[in-house]
A and B are shown apart, each in its own frame.
Chain A
Amino acid sequence: MTKTDSFSLKFNDGWKYDPAPESIDHISIAEQYGLFINGEFVNSEGSKYFKTINPSNGDTLSKISEANKKDVDKAVDAAKAAFKSWSKMDPSDRAKYIFRIARMIQERAREFAVIESLDGGKPIRESRDIDIPLAAAHFFYYAGWADKLEYAFPGKNTKPIGVAAQIIPWNFPLLMAAWKIAPALACGNTVVLKPAETTPLTALKLAEIIKDSGLPKGVVNIVTGAGKTGSYLVEHPDVDKIAFTGSTEVGKLIRRATAETNKKLTLELGGKAANIIFEDAPIDQAIEGIINGIFFNQGHVCCAGSRLLVQESVLDEVSKKLKARLESLIVGDPLDKNTDVGAINSEAQLEKINSYIQVGKKEGLEMFQSNSKVPSKGFFCKPTLFFNVAQSSRLAKEEIFGPVLAIQSFRTVDEAIEKANNTPYGLSAGVWTDKGSKAFNMSSKLKAGVIWANTYNKFDPTSPFGGYKESGFGREGGVHGLKEYLILENQEG
């Protein structure tokens, strides 16, 4: 037995953290929200409402309008009308409005972070340090592009597309809104955005900022609702561009539903990323990367490192250290600053995750969960490891979208590449090795849009994000993200 094997830290007996909850005094959430259409909050034509709840305790936070077809028509009409002047506005002025939005998000960052964690269940540390600052950064980044588009695509003239319908998921509510709205506006398009039905609040708070920023009416419209509202939006004849982030299943439906139209389409879909640990990797750092890769945001991440591939020679060491690290993860109140893993976003999602855990048990896989306590109220799931998962197992093939890691092993570099690429998805992958040439070799062989080498789950507005294969098409972020919101025309002469 080596020295490191002889003891392990016990985090759950004796050493207790005091609660460190973020205050919710300074935030305001209305009892009821209308739709944000043509620069105003208006009541839904159908007067139907649904509740949005706090997934960590089940409390109702607010009542949200369910936009019907008439509402969607109104929103698209407003966006279409606004396009005429917005697309012709001096691009430098367009930029100023977008910069304003970035600044106002920064000014109200604390409020947004708290609401994001309340409504979605993610740890306040993540919404405070990642979601909200990155959302502001996206607006700031793309604001600067508005009057520089002629430099982005050499030899081409650029033109905005028109009305963009944008449908976003519940895992990064404000951040996804920023990823979608910022480049669309910078390129001169107008927007109708539909946030997810379980996390509409920060999008509606963003509507307040948009109003305060003085952005011309109708340039951004926000309609709330579920799949039905989304389908009205997708099918609307005056929509020129659709940007969707969500499941591969729905992405395929949208591909088919828009086949007869010339609507431009970008799809940011599911993933089943391999996180590959070589024997020469800095193991302790890799452990942190594995934990961050799969338990960041409760694993509700399309690019989560949900398949762990470990080189056989270090499998025992990695497994042991992972188990120890799992014991130190604090699962609990999303608003507590010590919380590592927050609440599962919804009851339906918790059921889905639990059903996959049952699949693993039925397959007779070795399972590991920590001894840490999980709150009795609300939707929580213990971080879970499954060992010796076969390539054919559903746990290795299907996107779980929760804190469940499927662990596999490999012997050679070729085997790692083969296993990593053996999936219809291709959003992201992770590689851990101390050898630069190996990292570059892996980076070029892995069929995925984002490769994290000796790091994981990093995002930046300057960095294009998007998938290969069934993880969708198009990129968000960076200069490449502009292309999705422009028509490129040949220059004359």
Chain B
Amino acid sequence: MNKRVEVLKTYKLYIGGKFSRTESGRYFKLEDKKGHTVANLCQSSRKDFRNSVVVARKAQIAWEERSAYNKGQILYRIAENLEGRKSELADLISAERKLDKKKADEEVNDAIDTFLYFAGWTDKYQAIFSSVNPVASSHFNFSILEALGVVSSIMGPDNNFQQLAALISAAIAGGNTLITLVPAELSLSAMTLAEVIHHSDVPAGVVNILTGFEDELLEHMAGHMDVNALLYWGDKKETVIKIRELSESNLKRSVFWPTEKNRARSPYSIYDLQEIKTTWHPIEQIGGATSAY
């Protein structure tokens, strides 16, 4: 019996709810241990990033305005759909990071549980971090968390699949839209995760995933004027400095998460990508009575 010839997959980018090749037409190779080509990956260009910002900006307000309940269900849907593609993802992770299958299995399970974990936070983090402030004057005053807006992020070669899940969850659970640049070591799993996200009722533009090189895109990402924050999940000192320097352009928030043993499974990961908004309103005073808040 002849051995069946496999159908190989073309890996593209995920921008604005579409799987498209890089506009630059460039590629780079992911190889296995023996040096065989596993895939030709898209080498994202600055223009790919700019295009992603445009769609992410367009999608942001509507996503933020989805109810917390709805955002939670969508994150839950991602977890559900990932469950069915566990073994495929584990295979891809062991291929891209040369990891043994058991470890890869654990990582995928952890990632699924991470989506689930954040699905449960969408309608709770506000209650943990917001406040009603007892001001001395007759006003009702409260502070709530609000999404930063368009968040971009760079993941390093030491990040794993669970961390990618945590990053995406934390960003979108809080109403942000996200553009994340992943290295070759996360490319196959990330682009497959994009397929899952695509089929989990996540609106187009909310999550955008690019493959490519940090060195090439860093300055452009840190300097972009319509990005509200840049999260770097890595430990390269030069990258951290560069981001701080270039974030000066529009004072975008720079958020740094260390790689080591950081699963980011915490509502503080959501908080890191939020603004605090405080609202005042007078309370009518009748007969000298003031507010009791």
Contact = CB atoms under 8 A, between A and B. Distances in A.
Contacts of B131: 464, 478-480
Contacts of B266: 155, 490
A31 B69 CA distance: 65
A269 B251 CA distance: 11
Interface stretch (A112-120, A213-221, A468-476): A468-476
Nearest to A481: B276
Contact of A472 (B139, B245, B251, B278): B251
A475 B133 contact: no
A402 interface: no
A454 B282 contact: yes
Binding site secondary structure of chain B: mixed
Given A259-B241, A463-B141, A478-B131, A488 B268 contact: yes
B251 A462 contact: no
Contact of B250 (A137, A424, A452, A490): A424
Interface stretch (A33-41, A68-76, A173-181, A442-450): A442-450
Nearest to A259: B244
A373 interface: no
A251 interface: yes
A473 B133 CA distance: 20
A462 B248 contact: no
B247 A255 contact: yes
A156 B133 contact: no
Contacts of B21: none
Given A156-B268, A449-B278, A464-B143, A252 B248 contact: yes
Contacts of A449: 275-278
B134 interface: yes
A255 B280 contact: no
Nearest to B64: A444
Contacts of B253: 473
B180 to A, nearest CB: 22
A458 interface: yes
Contacts of A443: 277, 279
Given A455-B139, A470-B250, A488-B268, A463 B241 contact: no
B243 to A, nearest CB: 8
B244 A463 contact: no
A121 B134 CA distance: 31
A267 B247 CA distance: 13
Interface in A426-462: 439, 443-444, 447-455, 458, 460, 462
Nearest to B252: A469
B244 A255 contact: yes
A453 B247 CA distance: 32
A259 B245 contact: yes
Contacts, number: 103
Contacts of B135: 458, 460, 462-463
Interface residues of B, number: 32
B293 to A, nearest CB: 10
A394 to B, nearest CB: 19
A270 to B, nearest CB: 11
Tell me which of B133, B149, B247, B280 has the highest count of chain A C-beta atoms within 10 A of its own C-beta: B280
Nearest to A488: B268
Contacts of B292: none
Contact of A451 (B134, B244, B268, B278): B278
Contacts of A468: 275
Contact of B281 (A156, A455, A469, A490): A455
A480 B276 CA distance: 8
A154 interface: yes
A480 B143 contact: yes
Interface residues of A, number: 45
A450 B278 contact: yes
A115 B36 CA distance: 78
Contact of A448 (B134, B277, B280): B277
A492 interface: no
Contacts of B149: 447
A455 B281 CA distance: 7
Contacts of A439: 281
Contacts of A480: 131, 143, 276
B280 A455 contact: yes
A409 B255 CA distance: 38
Nearest to A452: B280
B289 interface: no
Contacts of B2: none
B275 A462 contact: no
B286 interface: no
B7 interface: no
A278 interface: no
Contacts of B8: none
A260 interface: yes
B281 A267 contact: no
A455 B277 contact: no
Given A251-B251, A464-B133, A256 B279 contact: no
Contacts of B285: none
A381 B61 CA distance: 41
A478 B251 contact: no
Contacts of A248: 251
Interface string A223-267: 000000000000000000000000010011001101110000001
B282 A455 contact: yes
B280 A473 contact: no
A466 B278 CA distance: 9
Interface in B235-288: 241-242, 244-245, 247-248, 250-251, 253, 266, 268, 275-282
B241 A450 contact: no
Nearest to A248: B251
Interface string A92-127: 000000000000000000000000000000000000
A464 B279 CA distance: 10
23 contacts: A155-B268, A252-B248, A255-B248, A256-B244, A260-B244, A269-B251, A449-B275, A452-B279, A453-B279, A455-B281, A458-B135, A458-B139, A460-B136, A460-B137, A462-B141, A463-B133, A463-B141, A464-B278, A468-B275, A469-B228, A469-B250, A470-B251, A480-B276
Interface of B: 128, 131, 133-137, 139, 141, 143, 146, 149, 228, 241-242, 244-245, 247-248, 250-251, 253, 266, 268, 275-282
- Across chains A and B, which 5 residue pairs bring their CB atoms closest together, nearest first? A259-B244, A460-B135, A462-B133, A259-B245, A255-B248
Interface of A: 137, 154-156, 248, 251-252, 255-256, 258-260, 267, 269, 424, 439, 443-444, 447-455, 458, 460, 462-466, 468-470, 472-473, 475, 478-480, 488, 490
